[in-house]
Amino acid sequence: DSGVTQTPKHLITATGQRVTLRCSPRSGDLSVYWYQQSLDQGLQFLIQYYNGEERAKGNILERFSAQQFPDLHSELNLSSLELGDSALYFCASSVQSTGDNEQFFGPGTRLTVL
């Protein structure tokens, strides 16, 4: 158990809808990362927050947005969903903001868009 929690575990929705994925980092970790994992696509970095502020942006679509709240939990919002958005979404946390530190991954949210 990494100490990172993600809810929900599974999400099934229809095209055009909007969903929110939630992540609680490990106690004491200030940094939260979001990744998308599709079949055979590895881990695609979406966005990073550190202590409430956006720190880095990866290949995140404009239809997607995220935020980190004062209690350090984070939410990833996906809107106008398309079939291609079906994937595993992972959240990871780390103590520091830099990319040269261990990240602890949550169990993921499996999103299915029908």
Partner 1 sequence: GENVEQHPSTLSVQEGDSAVIKCTYSDSASNYFPWYKQELGKGPQLIIDIRSNVGEKKDQRIAVTLNKTAKHFSLHITETQPEDSAVYFCAAGRDDKIIFGKGTRLHILP
Q: Is 47 in contact with 57 (CB distance < 8 Å)?
A: yes
Residue 71's CB: how many other CB atoms inside 10 A? 9
Give me the DSSP letters along 24-67.
EPPTT--EEEEEEE-TT---EEEEEEETTEEEEE-S--TTEEEE
CA dist 106 and 27 (Å) reads 13
Q: Is the peptide bond before 8 cis (omega within 30 degrees of 0)?
A: yes
Contact string (CB under 8 A) for partner 1, positions 32-71, x = contact: --------xxxx-x----------x---------------
Can you tell me which of 29, 34, 47, 108 binds partner 1, judged by CB under 8 A? 108
What's 15's DSSP letter?
T
Choose, by CB under 8 A, the member of 27, 62, 71, 100 that binds partner 1: 100
Residue 90 interacts with partner 1 (CB under 8 A): yes or no: yes
Select from 11-19, 67-75, 77-85, 99-107 the region that touches partner 1 (CB under 8 A): 99-107
Choice between 10 and 71, CB closer to partner 1: 10
Nearer to partner 1, 2 or 17 (CB): 2
Residues engaged in binding partner 1 (CB under 8 A): 2, 4, 40-43, 45, 56, 90, 92, 98-108
